[in-house]
Amino acid sequence: MPDIAFLSATQLAAQIRERQIGCRELLDHILDRVERYNPSMNAIVVLDVERARTRADAADAALARGDVWGPLHGVPMTIKESYDVEGLPTTWGLPALADNRAERDSTVVRRMRDAGVVLFGKTNVPVLLADWQSYNPVYGSTGNPWDLSRTPGGSSGGSAAALAAGLTGIDAGSDIGASIRNPAHYCGVYGHKPTYGIVSPRGHATPGVLSQADISVVGPLARSAEDLETALDVMAGADGLDSECWRLSLPKETRTQPREFRAAVMLTDPNCAQDDALTTKLQETVDALARIGVSVSDTALPAIDTMESHRLYIHLLRAATSARMPDADYAEQLSFAESAEADDFGYLPMVARAVTQPHRDWLRAHERRTHLREAWARYFQEWDVLLCPTAASTAFPHQQDGQRHERTILINGRPQPTVDQLFWAGLSSVVYLPSTVAPVGLAKDGLPCGLQIIAGHGRDKTALAFARMIERELGGFVPPAGYD
């Protein structure tokens, strides 16, 4: 029998409600697994054991009285280190913030607690959440449970690794450059990047920052598509000043059967070299979907210029992330931008121009994005989802020397810039669309693959319903070997 730790969060919650396992019993079982498996993987970097045990005992007592706190009553949870949890450190991997302890819970933490979870720890991240690996000078490096010599992804890499290894019941991450989607793909779990603005990021920021960054969102990671939807329903909704004037009502999705869905497919693009082994596995999944009745097209693509879309994404992405840039680095970028040719669209010149652009240029870029959003809206009037990769390959070996833009990964045996993979991150991010990543099996190298499911604006439930259909019809999460 598989370890109970690999059940989905909703299955765990059901077993608790049915008195098949106690909240404290389940927490202690998970903590035993953490003690056994986490030292070699380093996915969970902060533990809050005593408060968690007190909470689990209270959850058991409440259940004995017939009081169910919510849909995730008693489920053990970890969360990305960058979220504020009252009394715990929030460092974003920066030594300068090693002593920074949160005074209150972030909105997501508060809402997940209200849903019943027992939060017991925090998971590893890269410095300032700025890598598709998860290592930093405060907590060290995290390995992928499928192969510890490889990255679990980033920036929510510790979250995905902990889920895959059965060290937590559910988790939450953030995503501006596939930081939920990429780790889900690399570790073989589920992740959902919500429509921009529907989940409050309050309490997911460096000290003193209250405003939401452009493009950036927060959302759930889990071991099932149902878990993602349950968590999204808990997390989403107006918060703070917004709660005075608006209420969220996401369109429901009633379709469940393959024949009811229309899926367009885009598995390659000239902007990003794609590994054949990954493409083959994703194509096998698409072929299987067609066989069971999904209406599939590999020619029905949105009426957009993907190169222009990608350049616009880099322009707006690096404008957003420039807020954290030290003044000395900004001065260097300004000098570089002034010396670069205007028609040089290499990654570094694009970043330099984005970081130092006048606000007038940003407004023009935002206007171009708005036109792009309208094009996508017209597209999703005809198609329910667009299926595409999450990254260029399966999880790559750790490479922590130099700067991210200097590194390469092997694609079909040839070195390619790691930053090229941002194409698949930006396709939905630049236009604020929801994306779900669902595991669809193993590539030829024995590593997991995730299929990215993009849906229309506010149609999070459609992407999630499609992921649930894939899970039911073709299979879903499979644990890595060695963690039973």
The alpha carbon of 160 is separated from its chain's Cα centroid by a whole number of angstroms, namely: 8
**In angstroms, how far is the first alpha carbon of the chain from the final one?**
10
DSSP string, 376-393: HHHHTTT-SEEEE-SSSS
Tokens of 242: 């917004």
Strands (DSSP E) found in 393-472: 408-411, 414-417, 435-442, 448-455
In the set 8, 80, 122, 429, the catalytic residue is 80
Q: 1 pLDDT exceeds 90?
A: no
The one catalytic residue among 134, 174, 179, 309: 179
- Give the C-alpha separation, 99 to 391, whole Å: 35
Of the given ranges (107-111, 141-145, 252-256, 331-335), which has the lowest mean pLDDT? Answer: 331-335
The mean per-residue pLDDT over the stretch 461-475 comes to 98
Each residue of 181-192: pLDDT tens digit? 999 999 999 999
Mean pLDDT of 327-350: 92
In contact, 62 and 69? CB cutoff 8 Å: yes
Q: Which residue has the tokens 């990255």?
A: 151
Label residue 2 by pLDDT band (50, 70, 90): low
Q: Average pLDDT of 207-228?
A: 97
The pLDDT assigned to 441 comes to: 98
Q: What is the mean pLDDT of residues 473-481?
A: 97
* Averaged pLDDT for residues 398-410: 94
Active-site hit among 8, 82, 141, 155: 155
Report pLDDT digits (tens) over 16-29: 999 999 999 999 99
β-pair type (217-222, 171-175): antiparallel
Does residue 8 carry a pLDDT above 60?
Answer: yes
The three-state (H, E, C) secondary structure of 38-107, written as one string: HHHHCCEEEECHHHHHHHHHHHHHHHHCCCCCCCCCCCEEEEECCCCCCCCECCCCCHHHCCCECCCCCH
Lookup: tokens for 208: 């003193």
Q: Is 80 a catalytic residue?
A: yes
* Full-model pTM: 0.97
Q: Token match 């009394």: residue?
A: 87
pLDDT given at position 419: 96
Percent of the chain with pLDDT over 90: 98
- pLDDT of 397 > 80? The answer is yes
Cα gap 325→345, rounded to integer Å: 22
Cβ atoms of 50 and 57 within 8 Å: the answer is no
Please say if 82 is a catalytic residue: no
Q: What is the pLDDT of residues 311-321, one digit of tens each?
A: 999 999 999 99
Assign residue 143 a region (left: φ > 0; alpha: ψ between -120 and 50; beta: otherwise): beta
What value does the mean pLDDT of the chain take? Answer: 97
Measured over the CA atoms of residue 423, residue 427, residue 433 and residue 437, the dihedral's sign is negative
Distance CA 443, CA 387 (A): 17
Active site residue 295: no
> Phi, psi at residue 123, to the nearest 5°?
-110, 160
Predicted local distance difference test score (pLDDT) of residue 9 = 98
Tokens representing 397 are 């070996």
* Token pair belonging to 228: 């993602």
Copy the structure tokens of residue 17. Answer: 């409600």
Structure tokens at 316: 């707006």
The pLDDT, as a whole number, for residue 194 is: 98
- CA separation, residue 415 to residues 132, 378, 419 (Å): 17, 37, 12
Structure tokens at 353: 């121009």
Give me the residues paired with residue 453 across strands: 387, 436
